[in-house]
Structures are given as C-alpha cells and as structure tokens.
C-alpha cells in the first residue's frame, strides 16, 4: 500500500563529493571525496561527532547545497548540472526530510499537515486525504487525524512529521536527529515506526543520530572520517 516500484538504481549515490567552506579566510574541506550508496529499502545510520560534516552531507544529498566537485545521483538522475528549479522539483517529489523538531503547521490538523505536500504537488484533495489517512493509520495515529500539533505528544508530532515526509512517496528519506528531542522510550517507538515504514515502502533512509542503540537497529552504519564516508560495525 505504501509501496513504490523497485528501481534497479541506488536511491542515492554520492560519487567523490567535495565540499569546502570558507571560514575566516581559510578553506575548510568538510568532505574530501565522499562516496556513499543507498539502495531502496535500506536504512543507514550516520554517526559522527559534532562538526564532522553530517548536516553538510544531508544538505548535499537533499539538494539543498551543491558540491564543489563530484556527482550526486538521486535515483536515475544526476543532479550536479541541474538548475535550481529542477532541483526544487526533485526535492519535492523524490526526497523527504525529517528534522529534530517537527516543524508542523500549528493551525492545521495532523491530516492536513500530511495532505499539504501532496496538494502543493498538484494532487487532488480526495487522493491527498486518502493517502494521508492511510499513512497516519499505519503510523498508529488513526485516532489523532483531526488533532492539531499542540494537541499531540512529542512522539505523535514526530510520527506526523514522518508521514508528511513520505506523503509524496519519495525514494529517499533524510533525517537529522529525528528522535533527538524525545525521551528514550518515545524515541524507540518513533524509530521503530520509521524503520518499519522504510522496509515496507522500499524507501531508502539516511538518518543522522547520536543514539548508538537506535543506529544498531538500522541496516548499515556509516561515519565520516577525514571527509570520507566509512562503514562502521
Ligand atoms: P555536523 O552536522 O556533523 O555537526 P556540519 O556539517 O554542520 O557538521 O559542519 C561541518 C563543518 O563545516 C563544521 O566545522 C562547520 O563549522 C562547518 N560549516 C558548516 N556549514 C558552514 C557554512 N555554511 N559556512 C562555513 N562553515 C560551515
């Protein structure tokens, strides 16, 4: 029901990606030839100390920043040469984001929050409602459809944010500390919902987290060392 076609391509591929920042006149090479491949249905934890470049990697993968060198594939598409409008369109349809804070719209219900990206994409209200309801029920929020974010617990808010992120059936889900703001038990529950959804839908997920216990439940763990992506046990 939440499925998408199984693509023969990786959902995401970073090839020899370089990203430099200027800080006080000095060049800071955050990524120096980073390679990473995520396959559909795979969940990958990104664990690295603060300042190692996790957000930079997520922003690049999410087409929010451009690499200084290298190529980023999202499904069958190379993205380095794309213009801003094409990158925005890809971001809307191919990529879902979950942040540490839910960023839900306070004046709208859970259902409406999940409908929103679909309506922006041009889907009908009927289709958007059906999909939003299906996702929220799947995530255990069938009794909370009409609640506004302020009427939901932290864990429920984050599950709505996850439903919103995947509403347009993206092939890639990027999450930056999605459970960083939750108590351990709630974090565990939200994380379980996220990984279950990833496996059931064929999505690929890259999740930055400091929580090793949660990271161990994902398919792979990677870290950043000297600007490169390295697999860890
Ligand atoms: P993490 O998410 O692992 O904490 P970041 O990707 O945020 O790491 O940052 C990696 C490094 O790049 C840090 O040293 C940070 O100060 C620097 N950095 C990040 N964004 C910018 C920017 N826009 N301009 C200058 N330096 C930046």
Tens digits of residue pLDDT in 80-102: 889 999 999 999 889 999 988 88
Please determine, for residue 199, whether its predicted confidence score (pLDDT) is greater than 90: no
> What pTM, to 2 d.p., does this model score?
0.91
Does residue 3 have a pLDDT over 90? no
Looking at the CA of residue 59, tell me the nearest atom of ligand 1. 6
Residues framing ligand 1 (Cβ under 6 A): 21, 23, 28, 30, 48, 50-56
DSSP bridge partners of 32: 18
What's the average model confidence in pLDDT over 207-218?
90
Whether residue 152 is predicted with pLDDT greater than 80 in this model: the reply is: yes
How many whole angstroms from 174 Cα to the centroid of ligand 1?
Answer: 17
Q: What's the average model confidence in pLDDT over 30-48?
A: 95
- CA-nearest residue for atom 19, ligand 1, is 56
- pLDDT value of position 189: 86
- Determine which residue's CA is closest to atom 5 belonging to ligand 1: 53
Q: How far apart are CA 229 and CA 3, in angstroms?
A: 29
Report whether pLDDT(70) > 60: yes
Mean pLDDT of 168-188: 90
Query: What mean pLDDT value characterizes the chain?
Result: 92
Higher pLDDT, 37 or 193: 37
Higher per-residue confidence, 212 vs 206: 206
* Rounded distance from Cα 228 to ligand 1 centre (Å): 15
> For ligand 1, atom 25, which residue shows the shortest CA distance?
21
Contacts of 146 (CB under 8 A, 6+ apart): 109, 110, 111
Q: Name the closest-CA residue to atom 16, ligand 1.
A: 51
Residue with CA closest to ligand 1 atom 6 = 53
What pLDDT is stored for residue 5 in this prediction?
57
What proportion of the chain, given as a percentage, has pLDDT over 70? 97
71 or 199: which leads in pLDDT: 71
Query: Residue range 151-157: average pLDDT?
Result: 94
Residue 45 has pLDDT above 80, yes or no: yes
Centroid of ligand 1 to alpha carbon of 113 (angstroms): 30
With 90 as the cut, is the pLDDT of residue 14 above it?
Answer: yes
Q: Given the CA of residue 52, which atom of ligand 1 is nearest to it?
A: 3
Least confident of 50-54, 145-149, 170-174, 180-184: 180-184
State mean pLDDT over 52-77.
Answer: 95
State residue 210's pLDDT score. Answer: 87
């Amino acid at each position: 029901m939440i499925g998408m076609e199984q693509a023969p391509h990786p959902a995401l591929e970073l090839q020899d990606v370089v990203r430099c920042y200027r800080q006080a006149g000095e060049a800071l090479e955050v990524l120096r030839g980073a390679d990473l491949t995520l396959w559909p249905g795979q969940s990958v934890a990104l664990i690295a100390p603060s300042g190692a470049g996790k957000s930079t990697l997520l922003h690049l993968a999410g087409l929010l920043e451009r690499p200084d060198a290298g190529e980023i594939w999202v499904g069958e598409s190379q993205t380095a040469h794309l213009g801003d409008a094409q990158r925005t369109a890809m971001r809307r349809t191919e990529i879902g984001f979950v942040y540490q804070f839910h960023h839900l719209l306070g004046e709208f219900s859970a259902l409406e929050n999940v409908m929103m990206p679909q309506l922006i994409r041009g889907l009908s209200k009927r289709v958007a409602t059906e999909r939003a309801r299906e996702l929220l029920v799947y995530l255990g929020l069938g009794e909370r459809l009409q609640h506004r974010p302020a009427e939901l617990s932290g864990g429920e808010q984050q599950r709505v944010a996850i439903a919103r992120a995947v509403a347009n059936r993206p092939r890639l889900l990027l999450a930056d500390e999605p459970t960083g703001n939750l108590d351990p038990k709630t974090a565990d529950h939200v994380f379980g919902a996220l990984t279950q959804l990833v496996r059931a839908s064929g999505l690929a997920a890259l999740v930055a987290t400091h929580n090793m216990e949660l990271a161990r439940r994902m398919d792979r763990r990677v870290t950043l060392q000297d600007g490169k992506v390295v697999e860890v046990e």
